[in-house]
Every structure is written in structure tokens, then in C-alpha cells.
Structure 1
Amino acid sequence: MLHAGARSGGPQAGLPVLARNVTHFMRLLRDGGFALSPAHAVDALAALRLVDIGQRDEVRAALAALVLSGPDQRPLFDAAFDLFWRDPDWEGKLRALLLPRVDAGAPPPKRSNRLADALAARQPDMPSRPAQTEAERIHVPLTFSDQERLAQRDFETLTAQEWRALQHLVRTRRAHLALQRTRRLRAAACGTHADLRASARLAVRQHGEWLRWKFRRHAERKPPLVLLLDISGSMSQYSRAVLYFCHALMQSRERLAVFLFGTRLTNITRSLRERDPDEAVAVITGQLRDWAGGTRIGAALASFNRHWARRTLSGRATVLLVTDGLDHEQIELLGEEMARLRRFAHRIVWLNPLLRYPGFTPQARGVQAILPHVDALRPAHNLDSLLALETLLSDHGGPARAARSATPATPHKEAPPWK
């Protein structure tokens, strides 16, 4: 089909080259986050036969009509179209997108880096390496891949390039938490609970012949999750990584509510629903004045307990408290509000980046005030520790909840990691 125009010598004689470029452009958009398939490249080639390929606006409109599924994808498509089809210095702009910019105390610039990640992944092939020796073949299976090594790196020790790679790993992952079994029953094809009413109605429709049984089984739902994230100066790098992880949970349709606290409490659940994670984090950091500032954990918990606890902690909700606990003001208030939060929540999981140190001991007053009221204490300093939450949150702690209510004064019930 493509070669017919070339043999006829018509205006589309160079279509095979255009076909390769269109296919490459569709792959670039797919790597940038668009939900495209090889059929979209075929449709794009068919659409370009119906427009004047010498008119740039017509080509842009034709391709946009095929690949865009929402208005939020338009800026990314326009940037990819300009870089791929028109701009001769697209490599220079790519380096500018990947170049880290450090502004002391200023929020990061508002831009989307998915296009930069997709272009960086499509570099020219490197020259073939010489054949490996026998010794190299023996030692290669014992090495770790770059992704495995990056997942074990501390967030605070990452370079700018490693930080971009880590964001890409979190962005491409769709985390799913376990489902929670409820007492409600719903219709099912098979099961142990017979639905007599539905079976009788089916028999009536079949002229009194009881030919098939209807069943019901327990319905499952996603348990609600509430995140309280510390954004003080000592937690800024870890908070940014946790925000990217929360964005992945939000895109997976998890029942998640996110609150940030430094010197004040801020609800960012709606802002985190932005499809592009870079834009979501940029908007969040831009509207917060206490990012990387001081911390008042007790006052923030008091504000949450009085204004948000009853609305967000229903239905066996789990609270994820992400903080290092280094608060030296109003320790009595911190203990009282943690005790009140414990009565509201089904379970409290404390994620503390300080657990990355093997010899960590709870000596700070803030840590000692929080520790007796939590059900689990886990690290949160690298990607592996965040991904381990999926396994932790799959156990909803029914027996543990009863034991906790029976002995409210008992300290942390799991073995601390420093022992």
C-alpha cells in the first residue's frame, strides 16, 4: 500500500521514509505515557494520505485527533511534535530538559519530564562490545541490575541523574494494595452462600423448573488509606519521593487521602489527582509556604483530629505517618494527639527514614511520644522500603486491633528494627 504511491511517482513518492518517521514518532509518544498501539501508527499513515503533508498545521491536527484522549495530553503532544518534526536542535532541548536546576528555597520549575525520559531512552545504538571472556561470563550473573541497585539507594544520596531515573521507575509502576473482605454479600457465579430468592426468580422465569442455583459471596473493597507526610527540612528529599509513590497509588484508584504538615496542615488529595506526576508535585510544592521549613507535629495532628479524622478515618482506615519524629516543642500535646488519633484509626503505621541507621535508638522526645501509639514501625529511605508497604498493608490487623484495644498502654507491638 505504501509502495504504490512511490511507483506511481505522485506527490507521495517519499512516503516510505515518512512511514518510518511516523512509526518512530508513535513509539516516542507511547514511551512518553500515551496509550498507543501499533494500530495507531497505521491509522496515522492513512490519515496523512488525506491531508496536505506540506502544511504543518494539518499534519499536527490529524495526528492529534488520533492520539489525544484528553485535554491534559495536549501540552505533551505539542512539545513532542515540535521537537521531533520541526526543531533541528532537539538534542539541545533534550539536554536542557534533563539538566538539573538548583534554586535555594525555590520550588522546582513547572514542566513535564516524561518526554525527556522517552527521548533519553531512544539514543543511538552504541558500538558492539568485544566478545566477553569466560571469566566475565561467570561473574555477570552475580551482579545486580541498575534498577535493583537504584531501588536500594538512600534518597538523600542520589545524584540528579539517579533521581530522574528513580522518578521514572516510580512513575511507570502501578502499585495495587490488597482488597479487604467485607460482610456484605454480592451476586457471584459460584460460592458457598446460596441465593434462594434469586434462584426462585430464575425458576419462575423457566416455568417452574429449578435448573440452576444462584450464589452470593462476600464483597471486597479497597481499604481506605490516610497519609500524613512531614515536609520539614530534614524530610524534604524523602517527602518528594513519597509524593511520587502516592501519585502512583492515586492513579491505581486507591482510596487515598494525603495530608502534608510542616508548620501547618494542608490537604493535597485533589492536587495529587493530576495525571502527570511532575506537574502534580510542582503544583503542590508551589502552593506550600512551609515546604522544607520547620515542623510542629503535635499542632498538625491536633488540626487533623479536629477537622479531618471523622471524615477520612471511617471504614477500617489505616494511617501512614511519615516523619522522623524530631520535634522538640509541645511534646505533651504530641502524645495526647497521638493517643486521640489511635482511637480514630484502625491501624497506625509509622514510616521513619531514621531507621536506615543500624544503631538507631528512640532517644528523641518526639520519637518517644509517638512510639507507644503505633502498630508498626518501618523505614522509608529507599524505593524498596516503599514497595514493601504493599505486603505490609495486605494484613489489615484484625486480631492486632483487638489486642491493642484491650491493652491501650502497651508500647510498639512489633519487634523494633534496631533490636
Structure 2
Amino acid sequence: MEQIPLDIPDNPKLVQNITHFARALRKAGLPIGPGRVIDAIRAVEAAGFSEKQDFYWTLHACFVNRPEHRAVFAQIFRLYWRDPRYLEHMMSMMIPAVRGVQEDRVAQAAEKRAAEALLDGVARDEPPAGEDNSDDESQIEIDASMTMSEEERLRSLDFEQMSTEEMAAAKRMIARLSLPVKPIASRRSEAALQGARIDWRKTLRASMRRGGEIYDLALKRPKPRWPNLVVLCDISGSMSQYSRVVLHFLHAISNAKGAGWAKVHAFTFGTRLTNITRHMRQRDVDAALKAAGAEAQDWEGGTRIGACLHAFNRDWSRRVLGQGAVVLLITDGLDRDDPDALAREMERLHLSSRRLIWLNPLLRWEGFAPKARGIAAMLPHVDSFRAGHSVASLEELAKVISRPDDMGEKARLMSALREEAA
């Protein structure tokens, strides 16, 4: 790479490419604002470069400030700068449809996210540029606009009906979701300026230092605490279209700041139970899903809900369900095992948790009825029964997570069960 003069007025093309590069990084999840873009342009102008490696580390110093962002930066830099056939490389990464979770076992972490960020707004059917642009900086026209009607359509669209582009947009929307919860009043107390009770012990202890005279009354209030969140996600074949999106949602919850949860525990189950909690705590979503896919060996396999719940109740319930944990059970309930055993395990799980919420993608059908034996056995032992097939259903869950009176569709379906039994 030959030395390039870097006076900004004389090199608008370089400035434009740095701006587009920063925009692609921001779409891939890096927190980059206009100030960092200006700093990067000034840094390149001041440092100059005679080799690609120098240019790489100059931009790296301006745009990367977290370890989990290094892989994304490296992939986008490789695809964007000095690669004359960047469209062909990115298209080859985007060709596999997002239909299952096993694709992360082959793709490198952050590679698909980098391609999605750079291809946002580029038509799939457009042929790649035929000319060799090795001596010119690659420029990509990125259209980041999304109309409100299109975003509303994505919110209500079934995950199973989404195309690859729509799935990528839905994942970006899910990454911004949070699942806040209200604190629980505990038996412990803390000092307060305005409290409901008088702390007599602290008041008398202070009076003893003043010769027995009471000047002020010490006040106290119940100390708030936050419950744990336990997520049990079905990754069997019948749930394969929803498992990956649910794990994206779970990763966003596990890494959300200010949501209020004490701890977030994540488990997957199909034919066996797998604890993926430590993998979901990784900051990079692609690395987290890749590690979870390597840990769980029963992706898109059979379904043994009763046996997996038995393993959870036996090995994990006392560890993670203490102190009023909220449980999210994400499954379609299609189980061929003994329904009586499934009902017993569901009852034990319900009694061990503060609140048990069941998300079922089958509720997307208007004529849904609890006719399957597994669904009929599980339904009486949940506090709330809700749909989990779209971004809108996950957003609605965030609104009702702290409402103890919310039952979702449980009341209607339980009445249907009683009528059928009668």
C-alpha cells in the first residue's frame, strides 16, 4: 500500500469510507457515535499509514474499547477495506438460510453479523462488481432507513415466516429488548430517611452515646431484593424455528444492565437437559451461541419434556430456584412420554418457583386448543400461558413479567379443558 496523502479536504473519499466503515460497525453492535468517527479521521490524518496493519490498529484504537468487540471489528475490517470482491465473500456467508441453530457450529463468531451489517440495504440479487478495485477504497451505499410500517410488520410477523433479511432485523430488535422486574420486599431492613417503621435498636444505641437522651428517631424500611430468572428453552425438532431467536432473546436478557435480576440461569432441553448459563454471559452473541451449540448435543432432536424437567427438579431446582425465582418455560408442549409423570414434574416446578410463565409458539393459531396430552398435563401448573412466536410477543412479555394477576390465555384454555372433560 503506497503512502496516501491524508489532508482531509483533499481526500473526501477516504473520509467517506471511514464514515461508512464506522456505520457498519455500529450496525453490528459497537457503540460508535459521531465523536468517535471524527476522532478516527483525525487519528488517521495524524498517524498516516504505509501498511495496512498500521491503518488497522489506528482504527482499532478509535473504535474498539471492549474485548468482545475485537472479533466483529476484525471481520468487518477484513471485508470492507482493500477487498475487491467483498460482495462475493459476504453473499457466500449470507446464502445459508437462518433455519436452525447448528449453523453457528460452522460459521465463525461475528462473521455473519459482520456480513449482515455491511449488506444492510444491498440487494441480494444484484451481481457483484466485475471490475478490480484493489487500488481504490471499497465504498458501500448503506440504507439504514426502516419505515414504521415495516417495523410494525416485523414485530407481528411469525419467526417461522421470516426471510434471512427479516430475521437479521428481528434479531437487532430483540437485542434491544429488556425484561425488567420489580424488586421484592425482604425481611431484612435498611436505614431510611423516611421509613414506615422506627428502628428502636439503632435509636437506643445512639441515645446511649448521649447519656440516654433521644434526639432523633432512626427509621428503617424493608430492604428490596431482586429474584433470579430461570429460562428453560426447548431445542427439539418441533421448536427448531424458534430456538435460535429465543436464545438471542436470552442472551440480551443475560447481558442487560439495570434489568434488576439477581442472576439469570439458562437451560436447554430436548432429549436431555443442558446448562448453558456461563455461555450466555459472553458479551458477543455469536460467540455465546456457538459455545452453547457445542455444549448442547441434542439440537433438533426428540422431545422428552418430562424427563428433562425431572432432571432439572432433581439436580438444579434447589440451587437456582431459591429466593423467589421466576421461571420462563419455552416449549410447544408436544411430548409423547407419560403425561402423568409430566404433570408431577410440572407441579413440582410450579411449587418451587415464585412464578411460572409458559411461552408457546403454537398460540399463534387462532383456533389453538389444548388437545395434545402434554399440553393438557402442563397447563394447570403454570401461572401464565402466553404466545412466543414474534417480536411483539416478547415485547408483551416484558410488560407483564411483574404482573402477578396476568394469566395470558390460561383461563380461556382451562375452561375449554373443563368443558371437554364434562
TM-score range, shorter chain: 0.7 to 0.9
Q: What TM-score, normalized to structure 1? A: 0.78
Helix, strand or coil at the partner of 1:234: helix
Q: Quick one: structure 1 residues 260 and 341, their matched pair in 2 at CA, closer, same or farther if it must change by over 3 Å? A: same
Shift of 1:84: 2.6
Query: 1:174 maps to which residue?
Result: 177
Return the letter of the residue paired with 2:158: D
Helix, strand or coil at the partner of 1:321: strand
Note the alpha carbon deviations across 1:255-305, whole angstroms, 9 max, x for none: 321111111000111111222223322332233221111011111011001
Note the alpha carbon deviations across 1:164-212, whole angstroms, 9 max, x for none: 22222212x13131222323444556555567859997xx99xx9x7x9
Q: Quick one: structure 1 residues 49 and 144, their matched pair in 2 at CA, closer, same or farther if it must change by over 3 Å? A: closer
Helix, strand or coil at the partner of 1:416: helix
The reply on whether 1:46 has 2:42 as its aligned counterpart is yes
Give the conservation status (yes or no) of the 8 Å contact 1:190–1:214.
no
Shift of 1:52: 3.7
Runs of at least 5 residues in structure 2 that lack an aligned partner in the other structure: 122-139, 417-422
Q: Distance in 1 between matches of 2:303 and 2:117?
A: 38
Q: Quick one: structure 1 residues 190 and 59, their matched pair in 2 at CA, closer, same or farther if it must change by over 3 Å? A: farther
Return the letter of the residue paired with 1:416: L
Q: Distance in 2 between matches of 1:341 and 1:99?
A: 42
Q: Distance in 2 between matches of 1:349 and 1:160?
A: 29
Shift of 1:76: 1.5
Give the conservation status (yes or no) of the 8 Å contact 1:360–1:418.
no
1:7-406 maps to which residues of 2 (within 5 A)? 11-13=5-7, 16-17=11-12, 18-101=14-97, 107-108=103-104, 109-111=106-108, 112=110, 113-121=112-120, 124=141, 145-171=149-175, 173-183=176-186, 184-187=188-191, 197=202, 216-253=220-257, 254=261, 255-396=263-404
Q: What TM-score, normalized to structure 2? A: 0.78
Give the conservation status (yes or no) of the 8 Å contact 1:313–1:344.
yes
Aligned residues: 377
Q: Distance in 2 between matches of 1:373 and 1:417?
A: 11
Give the conservation status (yes or no) of the 8 Å contact 2:268–2:296.
no
Give the conservation status (yes or no) of the 8 Å contact 1:107–1:285.
no
Q: Distance in 2 between matches of 1:386 and 1:277?
A: 18
Q: Distance in 1 between matches of 2:177 and 2:203?
A: 38
Give the conservation status (yes or no) of the 8 Å contact 1:225–1:317.
yes
Give the conservation status (yes or no) of the 8 Å contact 2:385–2:410.
no
Shift of 1:359: 1.9
Give the conservation status (yes or no) of the 8 Å contact 1:188–1:217.
yes
Q: Distance in 2 between matches of 1:312 and 1:340?
A: 14
Query: 1:416 maps to which residue?
Result: 413
Identity among equivalent positions (%) equals 38
Q: Distance in 1 between matches of 2:224 and 2:320?
A: 19
Q: Distance in 2 between matches of 1:358 and 1:378?
A: 13
Runs of at least 5 residues in structure 1 that lack an aligned partner in the other structure: 1-9, 127-142, 401-411
